[in-house]
Structure 1
Amino acid sequence: MVKVLLIDDDVDLTTLLKEYLNEEGFEVSTAQDGRTAIAQAASNAVDIIVLDIMMPHMNGIDVLQRIRRSSTVPVLMLTAKGDDVDRIAGLNLGADDYVPKPCSPGELAARLKAILRRAGPSGAGTAQEVLRAGELVMYPGNRAAEWRGKPLELTGTEFSLLEVLARNAGQLVSKQEISRHAFGRPLTPFDRRIDVHLSSVRQKLGARGDGQSWIQSVRGQGYQLLQDR
């Protein structure tokens, strides 16, 4: 059973979401403040975290930053509707996705399942499949990657995005195509998720010898993983 840690100080909401997620087959524990949440995340075996931005004592951004120091557990942020600043900050710190509040329990459950599919074994290949693009080696079956002979630490979302580019190395891939293959849904207007996650991947890959990023963007069109010269 998938273990979910639900972090939100709204007791009525967490009760509602916990009941629904339990019916969907999740095992849910809750925390009402950031400090308690960090302790639970560190001491319990948690498969995924739902984290509200607005909480007392320590906000969700600070909690996420603390969690990311020692864990790559998938995190879904609950954000205020229309608050792009918090959304982008969360994605920059390694959140896998976000849902604006108020959200329906059904939408939350669907997003959790989608994140877990991305974080778990890929359905696109077997455990024996090896995907190579220059010095990048990816193992879609067990969601592992290596860069220049060393393990490359990626979140589930980052792995899915980089896998799409690696399968099309040297070619421009549209943001719509990236969204369909990595997220399983069309890209919506003003959605910055792809840009923010790939910015994080760029930092992890570092720069080429010529100073360029390994992942090039073409404004309004998409992204391309450059091949070795």
Structure 2
Amino acid sequence: MEQTILIIDDDAKLQDLLTEYLENSGFKVASLLNGQEALSNVRNVAPSLIILDVMLPGKDGLEVLRDIRTESTVPIIMLTARGDDADRIVGLELGADDYLSKPFNPRELLARIKAILRRFDNSTTKVSSHQIECAGIALEASRQILIIDNEQITLSPTETKLMAELMRQPNHEFSRDDLMTKVWGREFNAYDRSIDVHISKLRNILKPYNEHAHRIRTVWGKGYMFLSD
């Protein structure tokens, strides 16, 4: 089945370049030059993945991201200005799955797209054809749902994959390299905050539940682990 990529960017030349490149790579492409109609397009187009620029006229990319996340867990790659760490971190905190700094090589974007879609497919098939349970927490990755005390919490595709990796091997010390390879499909970069921001989001989800607030532990100098007790 042909997968659709929705590009939301006010740079028409970049849109044309990416559209041609992605179509030649086997994707169907839809595009918008602003964020005003983003949510309605997500509903109508039902994209497999969204490429979303932060610097949009009118409603900026972070506002658009916030709107989309109120009703969709579609994977999203944010495009940010080089060196703008604040936008990257806020974007990840709001639910973006990955980010790429402009200017970038279209081949790198394509690699990120394929890695995320592969991760998303895995989270709904072999990784999660069954429910993962550990320490009174259940993860239904096919539905991207975390169940704690009979409450259901919706996760993003990346949060789902990260939580699945941690829960499937409780008390195992995962290095940042391990998690970056398993979850993001690329090598860890010391300047990349993706892992730390998503771990922080998962901790905030667990925090209201006193019995589980401690589950994700930092292994200093290495990475993280999920505690079973």
Q: TM-score, normalised by structure 2?
A: 0.90
**Alignment-derived partner of residue 183 in structure 2:** 182
- Give, in whole Å, the separation in 1 of the partners of 2:9 and 2:124: 33
1:119–1:143: 8 Å Cα contact kept in structure 2? no
**Alignment-derived partner of residue 75 in structure 2:** 74
- Which 5+ residue runs of structure 1 have no aligned equivalent? none
- Relative to structure 1, is the Cα distance of residues 126 and 188 closer, same or farther in structure 2, using a 3 angstrom cutoff? closer
1:38 positional shift = 2.8
- Relative to structure 1, is the Cα distance of residues 68 and 127 closer, same or farther in structure 2, using a 3 angstrom cutoff? closer
Structure 2 residue 2 is matched with structure 1 residue 4: no
- Give, in whole Å, the separation in 2 of the partners of 1:122 and 1:128: 8
Structure 2 residue 61 is matched with structure 1 residue 60: yes
**Alignment-derived partner of residue 218 in structure 1:** 219
- Give, in whole Å, the separation in 1 of the partners of 2:177 and 2:108: 21
1:179–1:187: 8 Å Cα contact kept in structure 2? yes
What letter matches 2:171 in structure 1?
A: G
1:89 positional shift = 0.6
Superposed counterparts of 1:143-154, under 5 Å: 144-148=144-148, 149-154=150-155
1:210 positional shift = 6.0
1:117 positional shift = 1.2
- Give, in whole Å, the separation in 2 of the partners of 1:128 and 1:100: 35
Aligned-pair identity in percent equals 39
Superposed counterparts of 1:53-202, under 5 Å: 53-122=54-123, 125=126, 128-139=129-140, 142=142, 144-148=144-148, 149-202=150-203
1:120–1:143: 8 Å Cα contact kept in structure 2? no
1:150 positional shift = 4.0
1:40 positional shift = 1.3
What letter matches 2:32 in structure 1?
A: A
RMSD: 2.1
- Relative to structure 1, is the Cα distance of residues 145 and 62 closer, same or farther in structure 2, using a 3 angstrom cutoff? closer
How big is each residue's C-alpha offset from its partner over 1:77-99, in whole Å with a ceiling of 9 and x where there is no partner?
Answer: 01111111100010000000011
Q: Which is worse superposed, 50-59 or 33-42?
A: 33-42
Q: Which is worse superposed, 7-16 or 44-53?
A: 44-53
1:143–1:159: 8 Å Cα contact kept in structure 2? no
- Relative to structure 1, is the Cα distance of residues 173 and 208 closer, same or farther in structure 2, using a 3 angstrom cutoff? farther
- Give, in whole Å, the separation in 2 of the partners of 1:11 and 1:207: 45
What letter matches 1:73 in structure 2?
A: V
- Relative to structure 1, is the Cα distance of residues 153 and 184 closer, same or farther in structure 2, using a 3 angstrom cutoff? same
- Relative to structure 1, is the Cα distance of residues 127 and 68 closer, same or farther in structure 2, using a 3 angstrom cutoff? closer
2:203–2:213: 8 Å Cα contact kept in structure 1? no
**Alignment-derived partner of residue 48 in structure 2:** 47
- Give, in whole Å, the separation in 1 of the partners of 2:127 and 2:204: 28
- Give, in whole Å, the separation in 1 of the partners of 2:211 and 2:162: 24
2:9–2:15: 8 Å Cα contact kept in structure 1? yes
1:5–1:28: 8 Å Cα contact kept in structure 2? yes
- Give, in whole Å, the separation in 2 of the partners of 1:169 and 1:113: 28
2:207–2:213: 8 Å Cα contact kept in structure 1? no
1:145 positional shift = 4.1
- Give, in whole Å, the separation in 1 of the partners of 2:168 and 2:228: 12
